[in-house]
Amino acid sequence: MKKTNDYVHKNVLVLGLAKSGLAVAKLLQTLGANVTVNDMKPKEENPSAVELEKLGMKVICGSHPSYLLENTDLIVKNPGIPYSNPLLQEAVKLEIPIITEVEVAYKVSEADIIAITGSNGKTTTTTLIHEMLIADGKKALIAGNIGTVASEVAQKAPADSVIVMELSSFQLLGTIEFKPKIALILNLFEAHLDYHGTKDEYIRAKGLIYKNQRSGDVGIVNLEDSEVCHLAEASDATKVYFSTSRVLENGAYIKDNHIWFNDEMVVSLNDVVLPGKHNLENILASIAAVKMRGVSNGAITKVLTTFTGVKHRLQYVDSIKERRFYNDSKATNILATSKALQAFKVPTILLAGGLDRGNEFDELIPFLQNVKAVITFGQTAPKLERIAAEAGIEVVKRVDNVEQAVNAAFSSSNEGDVILLSPACASWDQYKTFEQRGDIFINAVHNLK
């Protein structure tokens, strides 16, 4: 772990616990900070708070009292806490810096960081990059929004390794000096407006991944996304591109049914087992990133000929009476669901619904051509039923939850159909996480047998 004096004797408020708050509070104490922890969950229901209190930290639970800002030099907040929180609004007025634990991870990491963000495909791309590095015999660790806390991984990562870090806009918005060696924005689509307020603010948060890069760093750029290209133009990083439609001199592309990088043929598309046209972007982006770390074509080919996807992201679950079931619970926005629908050319039954973030779903209509039935659930059920009707889909059923949706879909299906959970919404109206929603879908499928 790299030593830093940035936090020595600083009064640091860790706002919100969960895994990231627990990890960064411990790290900050190790780095010499005076740590105060504040979490909404009552202490008697909060084992992490009790653990930190035993380590000598001041812990306040149950509310966010304004006196916490007295003599505070820095706030490290849980990414999910919005800036509309009154305590954070007051901190902004007082010009107290507000960061997320990703910034602290960067400060202590001896390893280079490959950082991945985007509206869709982050987890698949992060996993592919990690797998390709490992397949080539390189030391690589995976961290960030994919499930392992960045500041925890950064403490353990040796200097000759690389951390492959999936980052959300929430995490990036709390960065100041964060500068990955390789930064990648997959795509940009209107999302999380309940948090950011406007699409421009959402895009600005994503763009922070490139902001501090210099010529010795690499920015991987989606040449098919004008907004990504615009963000990259403001960066001093060396640019490497990927494109699904253009032949490139500098980057990853498709030609003659093969994937190429610069003038090298890497792998035949016929040998790639990951389904869906949208995954080609993820694959090209991954290749562009690992090629900048010297990964061989053999290692890339080994991964692409065996990697079938990550859990909850267009995950094949099972076949029952010649109906194929796919779990795409991680599709929490319209773009993700539209990509999933494009992956199938056979009759499809779509299971969708969840938290209502105020958006409509009209952008899905062009992608419903192969959809024969829609099963809805959650807060957005009426909106999804409206667009299904506009698309001319005759079978539309509303159910109470995902488990019921599986049974309703099966009863509406025929041999050869795909039954696809791709909600186009966050899960929080009914489920704690998209993972829980996806696991319930998987169990319901297995129960059909």
Specify binding-site residues for ATP.
118-124
Is 332 within 8 Å of 433 (Cβ atoms)? Answer: no
Q: What residues contact 177, with CB distance under 8 A and at least 6 apart?
A: 103, 106, 107, 212
Residue 113 DSSP class: E
Residue 319 burial by CB count (10 A; 0-12/13-18/19+): exposed, middle or buried? exposed
- Secondary structure (3-state) at 394: coil
Q: What share of the chain is helix, strand, coil (3-state, %, to 5)?
A: 40, 20, 40
Q: Confirm if 112 and 319 have CB atoms less than 8 A apart.
A: no
Reading the block at residue 108, the tokens are: 């202590």
57: which residues sit within 8 A by CB, 6+ positions away? 25, 29, 35, 36, 37
C-alpha distances (whole Å) from 415 to each of 321, 325, 367, 410, 442 are 7, 12, 22, 10, 20
> Who's near 93: CB < 8 A, 6+ residues apart?
none
The DSSP code sequence of 359-387 is ---GGGGGG-TTEEEEEEESTTHHHHHHH
Binding site: residue ranges?
118-124
d(CA 279, CA 269): 12
**276: amino acid identity, one letter:** G
Q: Who's near 233: CB < 8 A, 6+ residues apart?
A: none
The Cα–Cα gap between 403 and 64 comes to 37
3-state secondary structure of 388: helix
Residues 6+ apart with CB under 8 A from 255: 247
Which tokens sit at 221? 């750029």
Strands 251-255 and 258-261: antiparallel
